[in-house]
Structure 1
Amino acid sequence: MRGYRLLVTGASGTGSTTLGRSLATLWAVPHADVDDYLWLPSSPPYLHKRPVEERVALMNALFVPRDAWVLSGSLRGWGDGVVAQADAVVFLTVDADTRVERLLHREVIRYGDTIGSGGTHETAHRDFIEWARGYEDTDVPGRRSKDERWLAGLDLPVLRLDSDQPVERLVTAVTDWLGGEVAPRGRRR
């Protein structure tokens, strides 16, 4: 199975990058992560966003024109032109506790003791986890509601998956769905 342009998206910690890389490897196509285009290089990372025009220009220069690719991350609110080039979207969800637990584990692996009390990345880590916890809606519609409205407005097939299962099962679910429901660019069923 080759020839798809696929966006894998979801809240931070749902596994969109893991699934995106797995699919790209299986199909032998390029994988790109939105964060690599969204953020300017810095230490600690994720401090300064690249201007929208530059993000989109880089994506268009490096992978969007290719026949097939997998992109993981969120483009809601700024990357509609890139999303319009996709064949389909996979939207991952998982319960909030599992998602935050994954993020905490990932942060320890990435930054080690620097995120602990008095560490050089303690404040950035605490701010990130607080931001991540705010994804699910509370009394005020938040990022989850915005994602749902954005997905509903897309003119693309969307597969919703609960990512609280092994990545191999997610890969199978996506490939089965694409094989039965979605034709590659220019050959929609």
Structure 2
Amino acid sequence: MKIQLIGASGTGKSTLARYIAEKEQIKWIDTDHYLWKDETFSEKHPIEQRLKMYEHDRNEFDQLVVSGSVFSWNPTSFTDRDLLVFLTLDDEQRFERLIKREIVRGGTTSLWLNEQGNQTNDFLEWCKTYYTAKSSSDIGTFAEHKYQIAQSKSPVLKLDSNQSLEILYREIIKYLQRNPL
């Protein structure tokens, strides 16, 4: 079983992938691990290091669930997956999740109030560009994800992540059972 989850930041890719990995007893790969040197998300690994880590994981694990994409620096990666899951979520809910996550990671001082009086920071401002970015080379955007979906050799399952982890998990497993590998 090889599943990859993509979608906007805050749709629950990592949370769902971790859940699936635990239920199925398979490897969970969070693609942020390849990109960022640590949990401050301030310094990136060089591409050659990312490729080494990716190759190691691909050689080590036959079954896996991947949260996120590496398409921008490794466009042929995870192409042997059995299923690509595209998670969506209403933007209001997505930003509620993102703000909570930013406060957990950096405290309330990591945010400021914008002109409308809403909490924000550089990352949240970037997240607002998910649907407005036009180029498929814009990392982590709908344009990039739409391109990946169009190019996917594996089936694509679109799910609204405003459901419990168990329901999302069952939808994915049910899809794989109806469409054997």
TM-score normalised by L of structure 1: 0.82
Aligned to 1:108: 103
User: What corresponds to 1:60 in structure 2?
Assistant: 55
Q: Provide closer, same or farther for how the CA distance between residues 68 and 181 of structure 1 changes in structure 2, counting only shifts above 3 A.
A: same
Alignment-derived partner of residue 91 in structure 1? 86
Tell me if structure 2 keeps the 8 A contact 1:76–1:147.
no
Q: Shift of the alpha carbon at 1:74?
A: 2.0
Partner Cα distance (1:10, 1:180) in 2? 23
Deviations 1:123-181 (A, max 9, x none): xx61000001110227x567212211221111111111011111111011001001111
2-side partners of 1:114 and 1:63: how far apart? 39
Letter in 2 for 1:181: N
Decide which of 125, 144, 156 is 1:130's aligned counterpart. 125
Number of aligned residues: 170
Q: Deviations over 1:34-72 (max 9, x none)?
A: 001111237xx1122212222121021134542101110
Q: How does 1:103-182 map to 2 (within 5 A)?
A: 103-116=98-111, 126-137=121-132, 140=134, 143-182=141-180
* Whole-angstrom distance in 2 between the partners of 1:88 and 1:56: 22
- Which of the residues 18, 32, 49 maps onto 2:15? 18
Are residue 29 (structure 1) and residue 26 (structure 2) matched?
Answer: yes
Q: Is residue 2:46 matched to residue 1:48?
A: no
Does the aligned pair in 1 maintain the 2:6–2:145 contact within 8 Å?
Answer: no
Q: Normalised by the size of structure 2, how large is the TM-score? A: 0.85
Following the alignment from structure 1 to structure 2, what is the Cα–Cα distance between the partners of residues 97 and 116? 17
Q: Percent identity among equivalent residues?
A: 33
